[in-house]
Every structure is written in structure tokens, then in C-alpha cells.
Amino acid sequence: MSQPQRPPATLAPTPVVAPAEPRSPAPPSAAGGSGLLDSVLRLVRMISGWDLAALIGGGVGAGLWYGWSAMDVKDTKTPFLIMLLPVAIVVFRKPIDALLRPLQKIKDMVPRWFLIGVGLATPYLVANFFYHQMRIQNFPLAQKSIIWGTLLSYVIMRIPQPAVLRNLSRKPFATLGILGWIWFMTGAAQLILAGTASADDFGRDKRRLEDALRTDGWAQVVAGTAATVISGLVNGALIFQRPTRKPPGEDSGEEETRYTMDVRTEGERTQLIADGEDRLWIYAQISCNKPSVDSRALTQAIGFSFGGSKYADWMKTLSTQFTGGYKAVLVAAKPPTENAEVEEGATVTVNVSGRTADGEEFEVPVKLDLSGELKLDLEVLE
């Protein structure tokens, strides 16, 4: 296995600021991190605390729903949706953000607390629409409300650009207070409806979940609450987390939190031979100007993925190691078939992604030129 050389100059596109030249990281050991357990651990480290909470919360919610329904009429489809939706949103968050980005200019003109309140109330409105207008009841009501209520709520509350987090209220508890009143009044209205409606068997026996989903008032409360809980889980960082940075130019009396991602390639190389034998080390490191931030943990959570062209499928990660404060990956390119050839000007992008301590995502692309054979530039001296 090839050994990495001294890291070259920093590749740090805006808004990532390149740090001073660091010491050369020591070459990684020959034994690379491999195996199913290592892959799972790397995946877990790449997931932010809020995303992990969403996944765990989805699993717990699915179990509670299944247990409740099993007391009367067992429901297996709804728990599956409760568990699947957070997974799908976490996995496809980046492409979803790309679709939502054009809406951000409009949402920037609306107070953030108002968007959060409307977003969390939306599942109740969706459940009410399906129940009264579409005449949907029982478990299908919960399933449709969970799908559409969660997605619409996510569209309303989600901020695709991480920098917009700076515009959150400097008094998060005031925001939560307003949000709590909106949520409480919405739920109270539904409960009043439930009290004036025919109780069905759910009024006498709260174990009958299916009866609740066909009783006017209770149906909207139960279905809407399930979707609202999922919305709160997948948007937890925006709802409950206190931002650590202030808007530019604001006199907050506190130093702005700044993050830096330093990305380097072995020997300053940007070319890779697609023969499966040529290999290249890529380094990445995240640092912060505040000592209280665990930069090492952020660096360990850095992810590397391939894209940019059809040649992304040719790329393989042979080893992942942590050395000299950097996370290093050893990559190679190999044609998927013996007849596959590299076209002239072929390139592939290694996307180096990281997160701040607040869960904000950012990415640095590293473009590599692919060739089918080694090219030497010779200068003839006469």
C-alpha cells in the first residue's frame, strides 16, 4: 500500500478559510480500517447528533405506535412509515435542500418563529383536510397525514443554506414560547372538537387506536400529532438548538465562531490513473477558533464521496485512517469492465463533507483528472 507524502497546499474554496500551513501528518499505518464494523462506525460518526436523534426517535415512535395498535387491531404499515420517513429525509437531505433552495428568498422575509409554528401546525391541518374533505379514516388517515404532513412541514421549516441559521432569534426560549402557544392552541382546538364529537369506542377505551382514527376530533389529533413529532425530530436542530453565531456586523460582545476545513492531496497531485493500481491519499481536517469545540471529533466525522461524472462508479476507497490530526483516505480508480476506456478530459470529483458543532453541513469538492495510462512530460535538452 502506498504511503502518503507531505500534504500539499490547501484546497479551500469559499466560504472555507484556509488555515496556516500545518505540520506534515505522519503516514498512516499499513493496516487500513476495513470490515463491516468499521464501516458502520464511520457511518455513525458522519451522522450529526440531531439526525441520530431523529433516527432513534423514529424507531421509538414506530414501536410505540405498533404497541398501541396491537392492543386492538394490529397496524404494521404505519409504524414502518414512522420509522422510514426520518431515514429518508436524513439520507436525501442534500438533494432535497437543492430543490428547496429557490424558496429560501421568500422564507427569509417571514419571521423564523412564525415558520416554525406554522410548520408544526401543518400536520394537524393536513389531517383535518383528509378527514373532512377526503373522507379518509382509520389507519389510512394516519398514513397519509404522516407522509404529507411531514413533507409539507419540512418544506416550510427547512433552511437549505446553513448560514441562514445566523438569522434565528437571539432569544431561543422566547421563540419556543411563541411556538409552544401556537402548538398548544392548535392541539386545544382539536381536543375541543374531539370532546363535542361522537366518542365511538375510543371514548370508553383508549386502547382502541383504530377507533380514535375514525372519531372526529380525535382522528385529527392522533394523526396530526404523529406527523408533528416526526417533523420536530427531522428539524430538531432548527427548533431547539441555540445558534452559536450572530449576524455579520452585529455587536454581540462575543467572538464569532469560525470553522475551517483544510483539504490536501498527496504530493499536490490532481491526476489519477484509472488502472486500479495507482493510488492517491486525500487529507481533510476541520478546525475551529474556539477551544471549546471538539475539532478532532468533527474531523473524524468527515465524509468522502464521489460524483461529478459517470466515472464516480470507478472510484474506490481502499483505506480510511486518522493521522497527524487529519482524516486520510486512500482512493483508486478502476474500470468496471475490461473493455471500459477513459475518455479524453475525463474527471471525477471527490466531495469532502463535514459538519460544524451545530450540525451545519458544508462541502469541499476536489476535482481529479483521470487517464488510462501514465503521461510523462519530457523536455529534450540539446
- Span 346-356, pLDDT tens digits: 899 999 998 88
Give this prediction's pTM. Answer: 0.49
Computed over its alpha carbons, how large is the radius of gyration of the chain?
26
Is the model's pLDDT at 73 over the cut of 60?
yes
Indicate the DSSP class of residue 23.
P
Residue 61 has pLDDT above 80, yes or no: yes
Cβ partners under 8 Å of residue 24, min gap 6: 6, 7, 324
Sequence spans of domains, the chain: 44-239, 257-371
Please indicate whether residue 376 or residue 138 has the higher confidence score (pLDDT): 138
Encode pLDDT of 281-337 as tens digits. Answer: 999 999 988 888 888 889 988 999 998 888 888 899 998 998 888 999 999 988 888
For the segment 115-129, what is each residue's pLDDT rounded down to a tens digit? 888 888 888 888 888
Segment 337-381, tens digit of pLDDT: 888 888 888 899 999 998 888 778 888 889 999 887 655 555 555
> How does 254-287 read in b/e, with b if 16+ C-beta sit within 10 Å?
eeebebbbbbbbbeeeeebbbeeebbbbbbbbbb
Is domain 257-371 in CATH 2.60.120.920, yes or no? no
Nearest to 101 by CA among 46, 53, 161: 161
